[in-house]
């Protein structure tokens, strides 16, 4: 009765069946007779009927023939056509048989095999939804290149990714299969996301494997937009793991070591014969591949993600407003959840930096979002401090932010700082230098100082008088001389450079306060390990500049034209320190270089956020034009 009703239902749905009537070489697969192939046992229908009555000999023979490594295209087509005619009988009792069918090598075969296999998948998931997850797992398992192992004498001597020239075609067929399944089972996305998470390759896998998988994940978002945010969260979470395992210091050391090694090799080769032609031929490869293996994987994935962002926002070369707004919202949600709380990341946050460069309104929306986090007293102080760090770093480094936007943001920050000082003065108590209590205030002050260091030339170049009037209107003297004493807490390199600039233009004089602070031991009533530990620390804020120079080479080509690098202030001499630093290092463009934290008593200080800022190249800047434009 059930069987006859199913067949009757199929007769009533000709449109559904017509979708998968596939013609190859003029033949209709649903109407032409089966291709003759060498096989053993009866038909699939007869075999299933025998198995139902306890005779499993033909059933086992059928499974054995399906796993034959030498199976031919015609045989696969013949089997699949038979399975489609009796798909209603392939219940949960035939689970092992279905798993065997799903392992058939259908990719890389003729188009006829692919079409027949897709038709079988459509019939299977529509008639037996119990196999939905198995089908999804099968498709997702093909999102990465297969491993090729060469065995010699019982020992694996080679294990590498299969560089099959059919790989793009195979991926296309995988996505066709997914779209087909979604068409028959609209709730597929609920079951797909956990499978994508579980199948994500380990981060130590090859760059090629990770690249293919991430590429295919992003491709899914095109036809299943409902899970795009979850997929972006999954990808960015994995990128952050790579990012924190490739610190700025380690990347730079690896690059320096490779340069030294290459120089030594070239010198030894020059003694034997001229290698000029070979060296020039190898140069592009040497300059684009990262020496640090984890950084190389991260660079590859960042390039894929940025290319995806560009493709979503620009359609046929034209900027698409609505698609960009939707992507911005998704990325901002992931930023709040994953990126903002991560202290040690160097590069992943540049996804938003790159997206914001497309339109001034995007950059303004991002700045507004950071400002709301900073001034929200109900949020944890650590997130507010991180937001202040992002705010200052973004204003300083992004070339595409017009000067009018910088002024507007500085006005907001300085107004909030003055209100904070008023609230502390009005309480009538002696205010102490407590970083744990006033952390957002100090990071806001540092963001203002950092922005002025980078942007003061742009403010003054166009109109010196107007620029000086603006700087004086900020009333910076009150900020640096207040009881909270921000110059005592901010990074010495920033306070020294800020003092040098403001002294030159006679905006505020900081050196008396700096000298007094230098004579005092800074009591930091804070420890990342907890307790009442009081330490002497030159970086009590655990200062973090998220948009410090981008070190990854391939993806960095997209960031370079958008990035404001440090212009050495030849006409401004920073206040000399007791260490008597002399001159500046060649090939260094970071005014933060030279500050090294004291090892004793500093708990949980990440080299990425502090020490790296003094070793890596940095930046200073000057941009142009307007604020608060609507999409």
For 307-324, the pLDDT digits (tens) are 999 999 999 999 999 999
pLDDT in tens, 82-93: 999 999 999 999
The DSSP result for 191-209, as a single string, is: HHHHHHHHHPPPTTS-HHH
Sign of CA dihedral 148, 151, 152, 157: positive
The CA angle 317-396-403, to the nearest 5 degrees, is: 70
Handedness of CA 609, 614, 615, 619 (dihedral sign): positive
Q: In 10 A of CB 524, how many CB atoms?
A: 22
Judged against a pLDDT cut of 50, whether residue 47 lies above it is answered with: yes
Segment holding 314, helix H or strand E: strand 314-315
pLDDT digits (tens, 9 = 90+) for 168-205: 999 999 999 999 999 999 999 999 999 999 999 999 99
Instruction: Supply the pLDDT for residue 86.
Output: 92
Given pLDDT bands bounded at 50, 70 and 90, which one contains residue 571? very low
Predicted pLDDT at 284: 42
Q: How does residue 500 score in pLDDT terms, banded at 50, 70 and 90?
A: very high
Give the residue, 23 or 66, on which the prediction is more confident. 66
SS3 state at 298? helix
pTM recorded for the entire structure? 0.80
pLDDT category of residue 427 using cuts at 50, 70 and 90: confident
Give the Cα separation of 361 and 367 in Å (integer): 10
What percentage of the chain reaches a pLDDT higher than 70?
75
pLDDT in tens, 215-228: 999 999 999 999 99
Please check whether residue 489 is in contact with residue 440, taking contact to mean a CB–CB distance below 8 angstroms.
Answer: no
> Quick check: 77 and 112 in contact, CB under 8 A?
yes
As beta bridge partners, residue 161 has 147
Q: Which residue has the higher pLDDT, 537 or 142?
A: 142
pLDDT band at 26 (very low <50, low <70, confident <90, very high): very low
pLDDT winner (highest mean) among 56-60, 143-147, 356-360, 530-534: 356-360
pLDDT of residue 621: 31
Average pLDDT over residues 430-452: 89
Would you say residue 338 has pLDDT above 70? yes
Bridge partner residues of 149 (DSSP): 159
Report helix, strand and coil shares of the chain as percent, to nearest 5: 60, 5, 35
pLDDT number for residue 574: 47
Q: Which of the two residues, 434 and 568, has the higher pLDDT score?
A: 434
CA angle 416, 422, 428 (to 5 degrees): 150
Average pLDDT, stretch 277-298?
71
617, 588 in Cβ contact below 8 A?
Answer: yes
* Cβ count near 399 (within 10 Å): 15
3-state secondary structure 520-563: CCCCEECCCCCCCCEECCCCCCCCCCCCCCCCCCCCHHHHHHHE
**451: confidence class by pLDDT, cuts 50, 70, 90:** very high
Cα-based distances in Å from 377 to 336, 343, 409, 421, 423: 16, 20, 19, 16, 14
Q: What pLDDT does residue 187 have? A: 93
Tens-digit pLDDT profile for residues 543-553:
778 999 999 99
| CA distance linking residue 38 with residue 75, whole number of Å | 8
What confidence score (pLDDT) does residue 153 get? 59
Q: Residue 42's pLDDT is what? A: 73
The answer, yes or no, to whether residue 285 has pLDDT greater than 50, is no
What does the pLDDT look like over 549-567, one tens digit per residue?
A: 999 999 999 999 999 998 7
Is pLDDT above 70 for 167? yes
Average the pLDDT over each of 205-219, 439-453, 539-553 and give the range with the smallest value.
539-553
pLDDT class of 150 with cuts at 50, 70, 90: low
The pLDDT assigned to 151 comes to: 59
- pLDDT, average across residues 444-455: 95
pLDDT band at 147 (very low <50, low <70, confident <90, very high): confident
Instruction: State mean pLDDT over 155-159.
Output: 53
158 has pLDDT over 90: no
Whole-number average pLDDT of the chain: 81
Between 526 and 249, name the one with better pLDDT: 249
**Given a cut of 60, is residue 527 above it in pLDDT?**
no
Task: Using pLDDT thresholds of 50, 70 and 90, give the confidence band for residue 7.
Answer: very low
Arithmetic mean of pLDDT, 345-365: 96
Query: Residue 3 CA to chain centroid, in angstroms?
Result: 51
Best-predicted range by mean pLDDT (148-152, 333-337, 488-492)? 333-337
Report pLDDT for 467: 92
Q: Residue 628 pLDDT > 50, yes or no?
A: no
Tell me which residue of 556, 551, 562, 558 sits closest to 363, measured CA to CA. 562
403 pLDDT above the threshold of 50: yes
Interior CA angle at 255 toward 451 and 345, to 5°?
Answer: 45
């Amino acid at each position: 009765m059930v069987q006859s009703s199913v067949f009757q239902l199929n007769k009533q749905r000709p449109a559904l069946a017509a979708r998968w009537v596939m013609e190859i070489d003029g033949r209709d697969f649903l109407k032409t007779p089966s291709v003759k192939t060498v096989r053993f046992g009866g038909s699939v229908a007869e075999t299933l009927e025998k198995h139902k009555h306890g005779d499993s000999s033909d059933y086992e023979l059928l499974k054995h023939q399906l796993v034959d490594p030498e199976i031919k295209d015609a045989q696969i087509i013949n089997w699949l056509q038979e399975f489609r005619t009796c798909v209603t009988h392939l219940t949960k009792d035939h689970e092992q048989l279905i798993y065997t069918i799903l392992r058939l090598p259908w990719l890389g075969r003729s188009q006829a095999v692919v079409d027949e296999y897709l038709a079988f998948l459509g019939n299977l998931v529509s008639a037996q939804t119990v196999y939905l997850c198995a089908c999804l797992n099968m498709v997702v398992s093909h999102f990465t290149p297969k491993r090729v192992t060469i065995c010699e004498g019982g020992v694996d001597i080679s294990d590498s990714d299969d560089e099959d020239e059919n790989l793009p075609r195979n991926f296309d067929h995988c996505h066709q299969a997914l779209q087909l399944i979604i068409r028959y089972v609209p709730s597929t996305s609920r079951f797909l996301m956990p499978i994508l998470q579980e199948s994500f390759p380990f981060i130590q896998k090859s760059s090629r494997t990770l690249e293919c998988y991430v590429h295919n994940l992003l491709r899914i978002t095109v036809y299943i937009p409902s899970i795009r945010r979850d997929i972006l969260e999954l990808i960015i979470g994995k990128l952050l793991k790579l990012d924190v395992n490739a610190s700025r210091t380690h990347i730079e050391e690896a690059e320096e070591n490779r340069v030294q090694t290459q120089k030594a090799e070239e010198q030894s080769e020059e003694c034997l014969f001229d290698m000029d032609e070979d060296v020039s031929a190898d140069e592009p490869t040497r300059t684009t591949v990262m020496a640090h293996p984890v950084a190389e994987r991260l660079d590859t994935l960042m390039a894929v993600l940025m290319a995806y962002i560009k493709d979503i926002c620009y359609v046929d070369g034209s900027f698409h407003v609505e698609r960009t707004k939707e992507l911005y919202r998704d990325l901002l949600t992931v930023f709040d959840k994953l990126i903002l709380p991560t202290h040690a990341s160097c590069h992943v946050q540049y996804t938003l930096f790159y997206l914001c460069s497309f339109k001034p309104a995007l950059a303004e929306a991002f700045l507004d979002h950071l400002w709301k986090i900073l001034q929200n007293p109900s949020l944890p102080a650590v997130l507010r401090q991180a937001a202040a760090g992002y705010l200052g770093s973004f204003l300083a480094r992004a070339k595409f932010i017009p000067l009018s936007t910088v002024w507007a943001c500085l006005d907001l920050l300085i107004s909030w700082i003055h209100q904070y000082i008023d609230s502390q003065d009005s309480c009538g108590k002696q205010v102490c230098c407590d970083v744990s209590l006033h952390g957002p205030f100090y990071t806001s002050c540092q963001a203002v100082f950092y922005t002025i260091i980078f942007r003061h030339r742009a403010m003054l170049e166009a109109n010196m008088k107007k620029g000086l009037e603006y700087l004086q209107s900020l009333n910076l003297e009150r900020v640096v001389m207040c009881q909270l004493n921000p110059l005592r807490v901010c990074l010495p390199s920033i306070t020294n450079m800020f003092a040098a600039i403001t002294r030159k233009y006679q905006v505020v004089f900081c050196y008396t306060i700096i000298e007094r602070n230098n004579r005092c031991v800074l009591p930091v009533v804070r420890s990342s390990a907890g307790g009442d530990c009081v330490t002497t620390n030159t970086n009590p804020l655990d200062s973090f500049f998220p948009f410090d120079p981008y070190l990854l080479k391939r993806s960095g080509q997209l960031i370079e034209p958008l990035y404001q690098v440090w212009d050495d202030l030849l006409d401004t001499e920073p206040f000399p320190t007791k260490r008597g630093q002399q001159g500046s290092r060649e090939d260094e463009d970071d005014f933060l270089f030279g500050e090294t934290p004291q090892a004793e008593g500093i708990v949980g200080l990440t080299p990425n956020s502090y020490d790296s800022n003094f070793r890596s190249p940095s930046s200073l800047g000057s941009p142009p034009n307007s604020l608060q434009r609507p999409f």
